[in-house]
């Protein structure tokens, strides 16, 4: 069986994701589509709108055959580390290919960009440092450095978010001589960060979440942009847990974590550097909402996304000394599968290079505690007794089988 891997967050699963899964299957000739999906906290430093279990179920109902979890140590990271974890897991699972959506829509520019940057790595790193010393954020610095080396308008636009991630996916596969082959399809209709519901049926996950939250968690305004199975899944989550997740529900707890920690304790948190712990303390004293806090924290040097990731690490109490050991994933956490996914897993299971976790109680090795802590604090946003219910789901419930 041929398998194609997708790197996803499904926050929530929408019509664009249905299209991506279908076109990926067709373009790669895959029998099975495997999704490696972020857990409770995401790459842009946000809590997922619903739990990973609810999102995995939506994915299985929407055309995905097998869903595994991208560990916290990779899911809440900059593009390079996020890609390393994701593509490595798909390689572990024996996927023949991976397919990502991009603004460019052609795979050749990504391969060319990787080769040019590999051949000019010293100059590229020096150009990034120079741009950052001038006060630019890392993504802006990387884009400026790339432009200074490439000087060719037809290569790759690294100001676009999906192109940035795609370049890292391709680089991981080529740099490590993986057997998995890269493919890309053009992202259509809505941009990655687009907040307006402008198309008739395709909108970004950002725009969908914004519309839901602005309408007091009403789903009717986004009904045309999500499959019926996603709407049912969101409605079920609301009826079960009484709320969807966003940063505002966690703000009192995050504020407490910041204010009750000493400057030395904050400085030990992963990604907290350059004395920014002082700014965290000062702005947390003044802010009454998470939105106010982030607006006050934002600077030219620190992007909104990077600051949010710092907030996630503070909230989950993730220390620098705990994260530096994560080079490659050391396990595969299975979330769900359908009959086709089950059949595929049976064919590759004996050759997996790392343990496959289908039941948490059977795996007690070092490394997974960061994922468990993230799942526990994610549940704290819910009212009781729903907190305990979601925490219990992490340990006791079986994987999803459709």
Binding-site residue numbers for ATP are 7-20, 101, 162, 187
Rg of the chain in Å (alpha carbons): 20
- 3-8/356-357 β-pairing: unpaired
C-alpha 280/C-alpha 348 separation (Å) is 47
Tokens found for residue 249: 């529900």
Is residue 139 within a helix (H) or strand (E), and if so which, with residue range?
Answer: helix 138-150
C-alpha 400/C-alpha 60 separation (Å) is 9
Q: Does residue 2 contact residue 31 with C-beta atoms inside 8 Å?
A: yes
- 332-337/356-357 β-pairing: parallel
C-alpha 103/C-alpha 226 separation (Å) is 21
For the annotated binding site, the residues are 7-20, 101, 162, 187
327, 181, 101, 238: CA torsion to nearest 10:
-60
C-alpha 392/C-alpha 360 separation (Å) is 11
Q: Is 317 exposed, middle or buried (0-12, 13-18, 19+ CB in 10 A)?
A: middle
Q: In whole angstroms, what separates CA 4 from the centre of its chain?
A: 18
Q: Is 372 exposed, middle or buried (0-12, 13-18, 19+ CB in 10 A)?
A: middle
List the one residue out of 59, 11, 56, 70 whose CA is nearest residue 193. Answer: 11
Q: Is 152 left (phi over 0), alpha (psi -120 to 50) or beta?
A: beta
């Amino acid at each position: 069986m041929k398998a194609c891997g997708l790197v996803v967050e499904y926050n929530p699963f929408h019509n664009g994701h249905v299209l991506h899964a279908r076109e990926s299957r067709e373009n790669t000739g895959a029998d099975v589509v495997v999704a490696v999906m972020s857990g409770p906290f995401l790459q842009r430093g946000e809590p997922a709108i619903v739990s990973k279990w609810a999102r995995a179920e939506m994915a299985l109902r929407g055309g995905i055959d097998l869903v595994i979890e991208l560990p916290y140590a990779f899911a809440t990271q900059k593009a390079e580390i996020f890609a390393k974890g994701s593509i490595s897991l798909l390689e572990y699972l024996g996927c023949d290919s991976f397919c990502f959506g991009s603004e460019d829509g052609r795979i050749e520019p990504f391969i060319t960009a990787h080769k040019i940057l590999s051949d000019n790595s010293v100059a590229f790193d020096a150009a990034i440092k120079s741009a950052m010393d001038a006060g630019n954020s890392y993504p802006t610095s990387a884009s400026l450095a790339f432009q200074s080396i490439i000087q060719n308008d037809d290569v790759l636009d690294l100001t676009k978010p999906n192109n940035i991630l795609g370049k890292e996916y391709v680089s991981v596969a080529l740099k490590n001589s993986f057997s998995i082959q890269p493919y890309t399809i053009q992202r259509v209709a809505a941009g990655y960060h687009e907040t307006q519901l402008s198309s008739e049926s395709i909108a970004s996950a950002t725009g969908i979440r914004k519309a839901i939250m602005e309408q007091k968690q009403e789903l009717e305004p986004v009904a045309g942009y999500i499959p019926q199975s996603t709407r049912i899944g969101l409605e079920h989550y609301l009826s079960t847990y009484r709320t969807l997740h966003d940063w505002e529900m966690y703000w009192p707890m995050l504020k407490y974590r910041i204010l009750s920690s000493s400057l030395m304790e904050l400085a030990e948190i992963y990604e907290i550097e350059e004395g920014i712990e002082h700014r965290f303390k000062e702005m947390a004293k003044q802010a009454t909402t998470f939105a106010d806090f982030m607006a006050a924290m934002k600077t030219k040097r620190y992007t909104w996304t990077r600051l949010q990731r710092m907030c996630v690490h503070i909230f989950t109490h993730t220390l620098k000394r705990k994260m530096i050991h994560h080079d490659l994933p050391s396990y595969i956490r299975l979330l769900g599968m359908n009959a086709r996914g089950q059949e595929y897993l049976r064919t590759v299971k004996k050759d997996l290079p790392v343990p496959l976790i289908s039941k948490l109680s059977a795996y007690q090795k070092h490394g997974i505690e960061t994922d468990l802590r993230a799942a526990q604090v994610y549940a704290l946003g819910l009212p009781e007794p729903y907190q305990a219910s979601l925490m219990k789901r992490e340990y006791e419930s079986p994987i999803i089988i459709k």
